[in-house]
Amino acid sequence: MISKFIFNNQYLLNELPKIDKESLEKVMQHKKYRKNEAVFTEGTLPTGIFYVKEGKVKKYKVDNDGREQIIYIYNSGEFFGYSAILSEESYGDTTVTIENAVISFISKDDFIDLLDTSVIFSRLLLKSLSHEFSVMVNLMAVLSQRTVRERVALSLLILHDKYKICDTEKIVFIMLSRADLANMAGTANETLARVLHDFKDDNLIWMEGRKIQLLNIQRLTQIANFS
């Protein structure tokens, strides 16, 4: 199932009791970010957690050769940056906006206070951390064991889910740079371009500029070979 490769914690805020939700929203400090602006960088110490109010944010690590490996893309409605605070460590990755965004900041003290007072919030975060770890393990296995063609197909399916506004939406456009897509699939830009053109020639996808639309999800799922 594709769900084992997709991390999403949009349920966190929605499933909080009204009083806890209001307490959290009261301490949020909203800030506008430009496209390609860093929210935090690997190795820095956390001072709070973040909530994507609008836009999308990529989470990545840099290897020894300086290449990015995108791990997740956060959507509006998702929290991020809390694992570093809970583990009392520096950030283990870097997060950068991939489009103009509005991101809310919750200070470390306010975050800890809510954890201390809300059993439900603590439980939801534990669930989220467990899911995040599971997704990371599955993605790392894919990157080390699958062909480029399989990885690109899987990345497109993951992005289709991320860019889908609702389950009934029939036309979904993926708007991601080719460099980011290559970094997500763990391949070079030139190799990605060849695979995408093969998919296009086979009528599996439609492309125009940065836009990609999946035309044959069933066939891409078979190519991704994630069952």
- Convert the pLDDT of each residue in 151-200 to its tens digit: 999 999 999 988 987 666 678 999 999 999 999 999 999 999 999 999 99
Long-range contacts of 63-72 (CB under 8 A, 24+ apart): 67/183, 68/183, 69/143, 69/183, 69/186, 70/180, 70/183, 70/184, 71/136, 71/139, 72/7, 72/132, 72/135
Catalogue all structural domains in the chain, each as residue range(s) with its CATH number.
Answer: 2-143 (2.60.120.10), 147-224 (1.10.10.10)
Q: What is the pTM of this model?
A: 0.88
- Convert the pLDDT of each residue in 44-102 to its tens digit: 999 999 999 999 999 999 888 788 889 889 999 999 999 999 999 999 999 999 999 99
